A and B are shown apart, each in its own frame.
Chain A
Amino acid sequence: MNDLPALARDTALAARGVSKRFGSVVALDRVSLEVRRGECVALIGESGSGKTTLLRCFNRLTDPDEGQVLVDGSDVAAVDPVQLRRRIGYVPQDGGLLPHWRVRRNAALVPWLRGATDASAQADRALALVGLDPAKLGERWPRELSGGQRQRVAVARALAASPDIVLLDEPFGALDAITRADLQAGFGTLRRELRVTALLVTHDLAEAERLADRIGVMHRGRLEQVAPPERLRDEPATEYVRALLARARGRA
């Protein structure tokens, strides 16, 4: 620990020299990253580049082989994973709503796990924040909602217990372009209002540019560059970053 620089006081998430192997596959190779309080960092890269693995280190869905992961300044290895997860919001790509729970109960999950007596009220506030009318939709089953509505509920669920940090794993990837743009705009505004720290995994450069303060480019388990969008564009640090951006522009 001594050889590592002290953390800045406003660092919410930090990975220091984190490595992870799955069998012979190197998923993370000595990755270091810091996310400041209130900041949104997007991780982009191809499938298998390690971006989701890095994300999962922060709520201990994955434990690294080497290196250190810190949340709010404390080493997550020393924290009970269940308690840790209950104070970090999480939005998976497919929503991951419990199909046998109504919308309100889904949104109330984390407050309920934390023992809140007003879990339903917290759920309703969160549903309202993401633009869903709790009176109208609260008693619906997830399967009665559209894809976009389901993903809004997933975001509401992640925010219901008012966490300081939210992890999002390709949260809007499965939606059609119009719905995606809609949700991206809504989430961006909400995040800034609530001053939530966010780490966002995406394969969509446009989404990263729209939502993130800084973008981290991952390639074969290494973090090639972390920079604000315009710096990434103007001063790509490696040939891979340059090529990736060029490809993304070509498609857009």
Chain B
Amino acid sequence: MRPGSRGSYRAGLRRRALSLALLLGLTAVPARGQAPAQGTMGSQRPVIVASKPFGESYLLAEMFAQLLEARGIQAERRLGLGATQIAFTALERGAIDVYPEYTGTGLLAILHERPSADPREVYARVARECRERFGVRWLPPLGFQNTYAIAVRRPTADSLHLHSLTDLARVAPTLRAGLTPDFIGRDDGLPGLGRAYGIRFREVRALLSAVKYQALAAGQVDVIDGYSTDGLILKYDLVVLADDRGFFPPYEAAAVIAPGLSQRRPDAVAALTELSGLLVEGTMRALNRRVEVDGEPVARVAAEALTGLGLTHGAAGDERRAHTASAPRAGLGAYLWSERRTLLSLTGRHVLLVVVSLAAAIALAVPLGLMLERARAGAESIIRGVGLLQTIPGIALIAFMIPLLGIGVVPALVALFLYSLYPILRNTYTGVRDAAPEAVGAALALGMTPRQILRYVRLPLAAPLIMAGIRTAAVINVGTATLAAFIGAGGLGDPIASGLALSDTRMILSGALPAAGLALVVDTLLGAAERVLRPGG
């Protein structure tokens, strides 16, 4: 979850994405284009507020959006964008206008520079270099840090007299640590900790964020890494050990804004700057707890926080995002029912993504498969080349699209289209190539032309296999389309991404169940179509 690690691949991803696009002969659609033209027009485009996919990022972005709205500025939310690399690229290209980021992440993941311990120096460096290199502006820090926090259970701290990391170094050889894989590998994680404090644990287990806290609470491990503002620290009554030698780089939170927003919407930048310096770590941890632990709707927590800070006069943002605004502890069925309008529109968007990308894939892959059957020499290598696309993980393929196509529906459609090609192409080619050889032989011997053989023999006999390929592609597509949420394309992935970020199982299911249902429906419908197309009744 910590937004640091993925960004280091950004440059490489961009190169690969470019060669991928060249390979496929895609034309890059400039995602930037939307931004500049708008300012001169009468109606201004809303300010697009984004977040990364974890609870605190959602909460801060929601606060940004509500603050803008309270100042009479229209805001559009694109919450839960994949990761640092996706969010920052989108910002740099003007596909989004603002999102919350951390100075340490900026330094390590965006600029690829070594951090220093002084928060002011880190902020100054990140702000200067991001402006010079990307035109991206960092607004003054919000006032709190969300850095690494090494935490233990309170009884452990009491019995071993642990207050700081120096204390921990003393007893570490008797303790078991549960650390995120990310932290175990990073230089500002475990290796650095060993050098700075001489900490050596008896045992280190790699644990994902989702299970780390439970493992600690259950006594499976004794020490974990967390983030200093995690609400779960409060929930489990953990003790965060002080970084008495100032080892961890500072992760000061701040709003980062797109190039040109200052000129285009100075009012929006002024409104966002109002939050600077107002959020302290304790406040943030309490707010995070309400969202992550108590399951309160993000919109309500954000609205109350803004009122509490004296920035708004209450009742500002009640009905923000419909699927975060329901009663927190209703059952799943009641929750789904209360969210039906949202879910219906998300399902509609999902179907649109699937249908359009699938139709485009059919339009390309079926004719291509037929052509390859006539020119078999290069067929296998071309099909294998298309098959390679299938090996790119969904989120990575979607990430490749961003530098070319920005964020939103278009890159999602292109990614889904690429994923759908292989099963359809492979089945079409194999189907027409292997269609009843004795029938094909007889048709040839009795005077059918190759074109007639394709149309009257191979194609109808291959139809069930082609349909099976389309079915496979469609079902994969329904699943993969949930990833579209990470680049702001909407669909049923939206509640899944939010639910994952906010540890809200109900919310996850409210996206996952309709998606599963949709996959079943699509499979059934295409199965029926396949039976109709089956030659010979």
- How near does chain A come to B461, taking the closest CB pair, in angstroms? 6
Given contacts A141-B537, A143-B536, contact A99 B439 (CB under 8 A): yes
Given contacts A99-B536, A100-B535, contact A110 B436 (CB under 8 A): no
B449 at the A/B interface (Cβ < 8 Å)?
yes
Of the listed stretches B19-27, B440-448, B510-518, B524-532, chain A binds B440-448
Indicate which residue in B442, B448, B456 contacts A97 across the interface (CB closer than 8 Å). Answer: B442
Q: Is the CB of B535 within 8 A of A96?
A: no
Given contacts A100-B461, A100-B535, A141-B537, contact A92 B438 (CB under 8 A): yes
1/0 per residue, CB under 8 A from A, across B443-486: the answer is 11111110010001100110000000000000000000000000
Contacting A at CB under 8 A, from B290-331, are none
Given contacts A100-B460, A143-B536, contact A85 B445 (CB under 8 A): yes
Contacting B at CB under 8 A, from A89-112, are 90, 92, 94-101, 109-110
**Closest partner residue, chain B, to A102 (CB atom):** B536
A77 at the A/B interface (Cβ < 8 Å)?
no
- How near does chain A come to B35, taking the closest CB pair, in angstroms? 56
A82 at the A/B interface (Cβ < 8 Å)?
yes
Q: With the chains together, A84 CA to B445 CA distance in Å?
A: 10
Q: Is the CB of A94 within 8 A of B438?
A: yes
Task: Identify the interface centre among A92, A98, A110: most chain B CB within 10 Å of its CB.
Answer: A98
- How near does chain A come to B450, taking the closest CB pair, in angstroms? 9
**Closest partner residue, chain B, to A109 (CB atom):** B446
Q: Is the CB of B536 within 8 A of A61?
A: no
Q: With the chains together, A109 CA to B449 CA distance in Å?
A: 13
Q: Is the CB of B442 within 8 A of A90?
A: yes
- How near does chain A come to B449, taking the closest CB pair, in angstroms? 6
**Closest partner residue, chain A, to B441 (CB atom):** A96
Q: Is the CB of A95 within 8 A of B438?
A: yes
Q: With the chains together, A61 CA to B536 CA distance in Å?
A: 28
Q: Is the CB of B447 within 8 A of A86?
A: yes
Q: With the chains together, A83 CA to B446 CA distance in Å?
A: 9
Interface size class of A (residues with CB under 8 A): 20 to 34
Q: B456 to chain A: which residues have CB within 8 Å?
A: 98
Q: With the chains together, A194 CA to B307 CA distance in Å?
A: 102
Q: Is the CB of B445 within 8 A of A59?
A: yes
Q: With the chains together, A149 CA to B535 CA distance in Å?
A: 20
Q: Is the CB of A92 within 8 A of B536?
A: no
**Closest partner residue, chain A, to B452 (CB atom):** A113
Q: Is the CB of A157 within 8 A of B461?
A: no
Q: A59 to chain B: which residues have CB within 8 Å?
A: 445
Q: With the chains together, A99 CA to B361 CA distance in Å?
A: 29
Q: B460 to chain A: which residues have CB within 8 Å?
A: 100
Task: Identify the interface centre among B442, B456, B535: most chain A CB within 10 Å of its CB.
Answer: B442
Q: A99 to chain B: which residues have CB within 8 Å?
A: 436, 439, 461, 535-536
Q: A92 to chain B: which residues have CB within 8 Å?
A: 438, 441-442, 445
Indicate which residue in A61, A95, A97, A141 contacts B444 across the interface (CB closer than 8 Å). Answer: A61
Q: With the chains together, A97 CA to B436 CA distance in Å?
A: 10
Q: With the chains together, A101 CA to B447 CA distance in Å?
A: 17
Indicate which residue in B443, B445, B447 contacts A98 across the interface (CB closer than 8 Å). Answer: B443
Q: Is the CB of B447 within 8 A of A100?
A: no
Q: With the chains together, A84 CA to B446 CA distance in Å?
A: 9
**Closest partner residue, chain B, to A169 (CB atom):** B445
Q: Is the CB of A90 within 8 A of B537?
A: no
- How near does chain A come to B477, taking the closest CB pair, in angstroms? 29
Q: B457 to chain A: which residues have CB within 8 Å?
A: 98
Q: B461 to chain A: which residues have CB within 8 Å?
A: 99-100
- How near does chain A come to B105, taking the closest CB pair, in angstroms? 61
1/0 per residue, CB under 8 A from A, across B57-92: the answer is 000000000000000000000000000000000000
Q: Is the CB of B447 within 8 A of A85?
A: yes
Q: Is the CB of A96 within 8 A of B536?
A: no
Indicate which residue in A94, A110, A154 contacts B447 across the interface (CB closer than 8 Å). Answer: A110
Q: A109 to chain B: which residues have CB within 8 Å?
A: 443, 446, 448
1/0 per residue, CB under 8 A from B, across A154-170: the answer is 10011000000000000
Q: With the chains together, A141 CA to B461 CA distance in Å?
A: 14
**Closest partner residue, chain B, to A110 (CB atom):** B446
Task: Identify the interface centre among A84, A92, A95: most chain B CB within 10 Å of its CB.
Answer: A92
Contacting A at CB under 8 A, from B425-447, are 436, 438-439, 441-447
- How near does chain A come to B458, taking the closest CB pair, in angstroms? 11
Q: With the chains together, A166 CA to B446 CA distance in Å?
A: 11
**Closest partner residue, chain A, to B535 (CB atom):** A100
1/0 per residue, CB under 8 A from B, across A110-141: the answer is 10011000000000000000000000000001
Q: A142 to chain B: which residues have CB within 8 Å?
A: 536
Q: Is the CB of A90 within 8 A of B446?
A: yes
Q: With the chains together, A82 CA to B453 CA distance in Å?
A: 12
Q: A154 to chain B: which residues have CB within 8 Å?
A: 442
Task: Identify the interface centre among B439, B443, B456, B460: most chain A CB within 10 Å of its CB.
Answer: B439
Given contacts A141-B536, A141-B537, A143-B536, contact A97 B446 (CB under 8 A): no
Q: With the chains together, A194 CA to B444 CA distance in Å?
A: 25
1/0 per residue, CB under 8 A from B, across A53-67: the answer is 000000101000000
Q: Is the CB of B438 within 8 A of A96?
A: yes
Given contacts A141-B536, A141-B537, A143-B536, contact A98 B439 (CB under 8 A): yes
Q: A84 to chain B: which residues have CB within 8 Å?
A: 447
Q: B448 to chain A: which residues have CB within 8 Å?
A: 82, 109, 113
Q: Is the CB of A90 within 8 A of B439?
A: no
Q: A98 to chain B: which residues have CB within 8 Å?
A: 436, 439, 442-443, 456-457
Q: Is the CB of A90 within 8 A of B536?
A: no
Q: With the chains together, A154 CA to B452 CA distance in Å?
A: 19
Task: Identify the interface centre among B436, B445, B461, B535: most chain A CB within 10 Å of its CB.
Answer: B445
The 14 listed contacts between A and B (C-beta, < 8 Å) are A59-B445, A90-B445, A92-B442, A96-B439, A96-B442, A96-B443, A97-B439, A98-B436, A98-B456, A99-B535, A100-B461, A100-B535, A113-B448, A114-B447
Nearest 5 pairs of A and B residues by beta carbon: A96-B442, A100-B535, A86-B447, A85-B447, A90-B445
| Inter-chain pairs besides A92-B445, A98-B457, 17 sampled, C-beta below 8 Å | A61-B444, A82-B449, A85-B447, A86-B446, A86-B447, A92-B438, A96-B438, A96-B439, A96-B445, A98-B436, A98-B443, A98-B456, A99-B535, A109-B443, A113-B446, A113-B452, A143-B536
